[in-house]
Amino acid sequence: MGFVGNESDPQLLSKIATNNGHGEDSHYFDGWKAYDRDPYHPSKNPNGVIQMGLSENKLCHDLTEEWIVENPKASICTSEGVNGFKDIANYQDYHGLPQFRNAVAKFMGKIRGGKVAFDPERIVMSGGATGAGETIMFCLANPGEAFLIPSPYYPAFDRDLRWRTGVQLIPVNCESSNDFKITKECIEAAWENAQKENIRVKGLIMANPSNPLGTVLDRDTLKDLVAFVNEKQIHLVCDEIYSATTFSSAAFVSVAEVIATIDGCNLDLIHIIYSLSKDMGLPGFRVGIVYSYNDAVVSCARKMSSFGLVSSQTQYLLAAMLSDDAFVDRFLAESSKRLAKRHKLFTEGLAKVGISCLKSCAGLFVWMDLRHLLQQPTPEAELALWRLIINDVKINVSPGSSFHCSEPGWFRVCFANIDEETVEIALERIKAFVRRVTEKTSKMKRKQWQSNLQLSLKSRRFEESVMSPHGLISPCSPIPQSPLVKATT
């Protein structure tokens, strides 16, 4: 039996099933599909597509594996741990196992340098940060209401935050001229525009550290944002999923730290999204957290969490792992060191062929600047270049337009999901590509120069033949611009 297509009867299925709100038609996901069709493998498919479009942290899996082997009791599916099986396999309280919530709260405090404490009673589980983001939207906004979101932003927010909730996202354009900083002015301007269009703005949401920029918000910017939401009485949702991926001196500052320093801050407006997908490299475990300072939100999110609970087996294992201070300390220190090394290797390799990246200190990716390789500074030219990179260079990177970047020519490239040898191969491919493009451009320029030269000689002959020595051109007439001059500027 085949599927019944909704083209034949659009009303057969729901609006959610038939609208395009899933956002999967984006080039961001197309790149993944290109990789799936022809995945690189060093021996089986050495000319395949290298996946650099997936924000995964695989650099410290060896440490986690070691811990699992050394702690067989933490898994209920081992002979050492099977005694715990019956208890854990049963239905659990959807508040989560107490030992799990305690361990997560402690871990969240630790990765913020112990400067803030998190209350286990406010930890609400969800299926990854994906589920956490949607849950928080369901709690804070009605269909049609909006959240401001600084762009460029994580493409799947269009799906996670909007699709099933009906919430709108209003991008707040940030620009390269100030390193994509979020300014008071651009937030105010986006707010004013929404007011003019009668859109009810319920809050501001952003990822800190940023995906795709890999930058962190400084304390003053965070204070400004907290002041802004307090003034407008709207919500501030901070997705801090990359908080422990910082690898250079600029330390991550959590909104949790900042609100503690602001007198009169309305805590009911502040919410954090977290997950173990990036910091611990466990995206398959689907451990997401909603942490809200608002009691009503905690209570509602907890009821909703039955739709996306973390399995008790996973909670049980992680409770033991995250409570092991020696392991967590070693893991975090090593992860940050390895990320720094990988970032250096990749960005220095790119620099050798004249490619720069936005200066970053966190995340599992860089924001690569290819503006100089665009035929025109347009979104179409960006996509043309992106297609060339996927089809010819055979690397899946993600174009800036899929992150709602207002400036064409930026690409996000992930560097922590592949091994070092594959990074080296990707760099070789990029080098060869840049060489080809540069040669082609200089050939084209040479050709253009030669044809301009011929044109110029012809027109000079023409000018000489039409200009009488008695001077049809007065001394103060503008000098005709030579095409040669144009070609060389």
Ligand X SMILES: Cc1ncc(COP(=O)(O)O)c(C=O)c1O
- How many other CB atoms are there within 10 angstroms of residue 311's CB atom? 14
Identify the three-state secondary structure at position 378.
coil
- Choose between 211 and 314: whose C-beta lies nearer to ligand X: 211
Q: How far is the CB of 279 from ligand X (least distance, A)?
A: 10
Q: How many CB atoms lie within 10 A of CB 275?
A: 26
Residue closer to ligand X, measured from CB, 161 or 256: 161
Q: Please report how close the Cβ of residue 432 comes to ligand X at its closest, in angstroms.
A: 30
Choose between 203 and 288: whose C-beta lies nearer to ligand X. Answer: 288
Query: Shortest distance, CB of residue 187 to ligand X, whole angstroms?
Result: 19
Interface residues with ligand X (CB under 6 A)?
55, 128-130, 154, 207, 211, 239, 241, 275, 277, 283, 288
Residue closer to ligand X by CB (options 154, 346) is: 154
* 179 SS3 class: coil
Contact 422, 50 (CB under 8 A): yes
Among 56, 152, 35, residue whose Cα is nearest residue 411: 152
Contact 285, 252 (CB under 8 A): no
Catalytic residue numbers read 154, 239, 241, 278
Min separation Cβ 275 and ligand X, Å: 3
- Supply the minimum distance, in Å, between the C-beta of residue 212 and ligand X: 8
Shortest distance, position 417 Cβ to ligand X, whole Å: 11
d(CA 307, CA 287): 13
- 232 exposed, middle or buried (CB, 10 Å; 0-12, 13-18, 19+)? middle
Q: How far apart are CA 11 and CA 19, in angstroms?
A: 11
Shorter beta-carbon distance to ligand X: residue 81 or 150: 150
194 within 8 A of 174, measured Cβ to Cβ: no
Per-residue exposure over 327-355, b if at least 16 CB sit within 10 Å of its own CB, e if not: bbeebbeebbebbeebbeebbebbeeeeb
Contacting residues for 461 by C-beta, under 8 A, at least 6 apart? none
Class of residue 416 by CB neighbours under 10 A (exposed 0-12, middle 13-18, buried 19+):
buried
Measured at CB, which residue is nearest to ligand X? 128
CA dihedral sign of residues 354, 357, 359, 360: negative
Is 156 or 427 the residue whose CB approaches ligand X more closely? 156
CB of 154 to ligand X, least distance (A): 4
C-alpha span between 352 and 254 (Å, rounded):
35
Looking at the Cβ atoms of 76 and 174, the one nearer to ligand X is 174
User: In angstroms, rounded to a whole number, what is the distance separating the alpha carbons of residues 46 and 425?
Assistant: 10
